[in-house]
Structure 1
Amino acid sequence: MSSQVVKTTEELVRPILEEKNLELVDIEYVKEGKNWFLRVFIDKEGGIDITECGEVSEQLSEKLDDVDPIQEAYFLEVSSPGVERPIKTVEDFAKSINKNVYVKLFEPINGEKAYEGILVNFSNNVATIEYKVKTRKHQVEIPFEKIAKARLAVTL
C-alpha cells in the first residue's frame, strides 16, 4: 500500500517538477502516531525556497485529489531535504564527490557498518570514502549495492 502511494505520487509530481526545473529527492509515506504523512522532498542547484515548495504542494495536492490514491486522511508536506540530504541514486553519488558523506551499510566492511568522510571518488558503482581515525587518513571502497543508506553529512 505504502509503496503504491509513493509510486503514484512520483508519477504525479515529476511533470510538475520538470516544468519548474526542480529535482525530486525522495518521497515517503509514513505513519507517525495516529497521523499519516506524505512527504515530498525537492531541490535544485543552489537550494529551494518556501515559495517553490508551496507552488509544488498546491499543484500536487490538486492532482492527488483528482486521482485519490490514498484512502485515509493524511498531511502533505513538500520541503527541501535539508543540509543532510539523502544520497539515493548513482547520479546523487556522482554529484556528491568531494563532499562530506555518511554511509550506512547492509553488512560490515573492514569490521564497520558505517563510515563518515569525504567521498573522493565514485566510479564503476563503487564509492571511495576518505575518513580519519584520530589523525590518520584511511580510504574504504564501498560497492553501491552494499549501501543501505547514505546522506550528506554536516561537519562542525
Structure 2
Amino acid sequence: MNDTRPLHTGLEGRIADLIAPGLESIGYELVRIAVIGKQRPTVQIMADRADDAPFTLDDCERISHLVSAVLDVDDPIAGAWTLEVSSAGIDRPLTRVKDWNRFAGHLAKIELDAPIALGRKRITGIVLGADERVARVKLDTGETVELPHADIRRAKLVLTEDLIKAAETPPPAN
C-alpha cells in the first residue's frame, strides 16, 4: 500500500492507476474513487490538495478536466458515464496510510470484509495510526486491534467536535 495513494481494485483500481500520476503532477492526491451504477455509471473522485491548502471549486474544475481527458482517451468504462469530483470533507474516508496517521486520535467507523475484530464486521474506535500493512484502532473496550488494509471495506471519520476543531486549525508547516 502506497502512503499517499488509496488501495483500489477492479475498475476503480484501473481508473486510479490512470489518473493518479496526472493528479499528482498538478498538485493533488487521490483519496477515493467509486464507480456507482450500471446503466450510466457515475465516477466519483475524491481528492486533496498536496499542499494541504483548502479545497475550492477551482480545484474540482481542474481535476474534472484532467480526469475527463484521461478517461476519454483510455476509455476504461464502456458507454456513457458521469463524473463527480469533490474534496474528502471533514468526515472523510480513511483510504491511505497517510490518512490513518494524520487523523490519529479521532473517532472512526470501520466496515470489514469479514468479521475479524471481536467477531464483528463493523467497529467504531479511536484511530491510532497505520503502517503499510495494518491500521490500528483502539476500541471502546480499551482493546487495540490491528486491521489489515486489504480487509477494510471502508473506513470513515465520525464527525465530532474534536474533529471540527482540528479541521479549523491549519496543519503544521513542514
Report the TM-score range of the alignment, normalised by the length of the smaller protein.
Answer: 0.7 to 0.9
2:76 pairs, out of 51, 55, 69, with: 69
Hey, what does 1:139 align to over in structure 2?
143
Structure 2 residue aligned with 1:155: 160
Describe the shift of the 1:87–1:126 C-alpha distance in structure 2 as closer, same or farther (beyond 3 A): closer
**Would you say how many aligned residue pairs link Structure 1 and Structure 2?**
148
Deviations along 1:101-123, whole A, 9 cap, x unmatched? Answer: 11223215335432223213446
Q: Corresponding residue for 1:18?
A: 24
Corresponding residue SS for 2:115? strand
Q: What residue in structure 2 maps to residue 95 of structure 1?
A: 102
Residue equivalent to 1:109: 117
* Alignment partner, residue 134 of structure 1: none
Give how far 1:92 is off. 2.8
| Root-mean-square deviation (Å) | 2.6
- TM-score, normalised to structure 1, is 0.76
1:38 equivalent in alignment to 2:43: yes
Going by fraction, where is strand more abundant, 1 or 2?
1
Unaligned stretches of 5+ in structure 1? 132-136
TM-score, normalised by the number of residues in structure 2: 0.70
Q: Percent identity?
A: 25
The C-alpha deviation readout for 1:13-72, integer Å capped at 9, x for no partner, is 22331122211011121216x431111111132442111011110122122222233221
Q: In structure 1, what residue type is equivalent to 2:122? A: A
Unaligned runs of 5+ in 2: 1-8, 162-174
Q: Secondary structure at the match of 2:159?
A: coil
